[in-house]
Structure 1
Amino acid sequence: MSVIHLDNRLAHYEVFGRGQPIIFLHSWIGSWRYWVPIMDLASERYRAYAFDFWGFGESDRRGDQFSVPTYVAMLMQFMDRLGIARTTLVGHGMGGMVAIIAAYQHPERFNRLLTVATP
């Protein structure tokens, strides 16, 4: 289990493999565990990351700032803290919305974007 401090709160994340980074973003009522099978496959060629948004999984649950814009900021802080300059994003549901907005706001930070079941 890995944790990182973002905005003075603990965020849980996991990382598999080596290579170019790819970040997986879970949906509402989910966690990083949703991505384990695909992270395992991706880790053969990529460094696969997945983290729990605040309020989910093993990340901090304090506060009420659980919104897509807050999660976009969380993603960008996560990338900055881990030194990920540019990556591919894969998002499911709400995580897909976070990915789309992050890529729109910061196109220079993302190689590709894949969303699944995004509203």
Structure 2
Amino acid sequence: MATRPLSATRHCTSSGPASGAGAPVRRGGPPRGHPAVLVHGYVDSWRTFEPLLRHLPPSLHVYAPTQRGHGDAAKPPGGYLPEDFAADLLAFMDSVGIGRAVLVGGSSGGVQARIVAARHPDRVAGRCHVVGCVRA
């Protein structure tokens, strides 16, 4: 299977107040592709999805942000409840102009994706919960 190009890691500086402006985000795929947001679990970062990013279908434009308190993202003193991360996810989507996306939650990232899907079904085109990855 051919791999696809990825953009450099960028820091999202236009995020809403809940999202922790300055959070790193990795993007890949054509800008006009169907948006998909990859949501990592606790004590992780966007890098958990790095092996997967090059093998996704070219019809997707993928965003893999790092959540507050993780990796190179800002580490505020509070705001670490699942509801806070879900609010951050929505703020991130707003900041990059995503009206509706497929949400892919890795491990506990699935909790945030599920909260967003339940509270804002109009913003979610689909949802997938990835429990683990196996390296072949």
Question: How many residue pairs get matched?
Answer: 118
Structure 1 residue 43: Cα displacement: 5.4
State the match for 1:38 in structure 2.
Answer: 52
Q: CA RMSD in A?
A: 1.6
Structure 1 residue 66: Cα displacement: 1.3
| TM-score computed with the length of structure 2 as normaliser | 0.81
Letter in 2 for 1:11: A
Letter in 2 for 1:21: P
Contact in 1 for aligned 2:79/2:85 (Cα 8 Å): no
Over residues 47-71 of structure 1, what are the superposed CA-to-partner deviations in whole Å (9 max), with x where a residue is unaligned?
1110111000111012221121111
Higher-helix-fraction structure = 1
Looking at structure 2, the residues matched to 9 and 15 of structure 1 have their Cα atoms a distance apart, in angstroms, of: 17
1:14 aligns with 2:26: yes
Runs of 4+ in 1 over 3 A off after TM superposition: none
Tell me, which stretches of 5 or more residues in structure 2 are unaligned? 1-8
Contact in 1 for aligned 2:11/2:22 (Cα 8 Å): yes
| TM-score computed with the length of structure 1 as normaliser | 0.91
Tell me, which stretches of 5 or more residues in structure 1 are unaligned? none
Higher-strand-fraction structure = 1
Over residues 55-112 of structure 1, what are the superposed CA-to-partner deviations in whole Å (9 max), with x where a residue is unaligned?
0011101222112111111010111111101110100121000000100000001111
Structure 1 residue 44: Cα displacement: 2.2
Looking at structure 2, the residues matched to 31 and 83 of structure 1 have their Cα atoms a distance apart, in angstroms, of: 22
State the match for 2:12 in structure 1.
Answer: 4
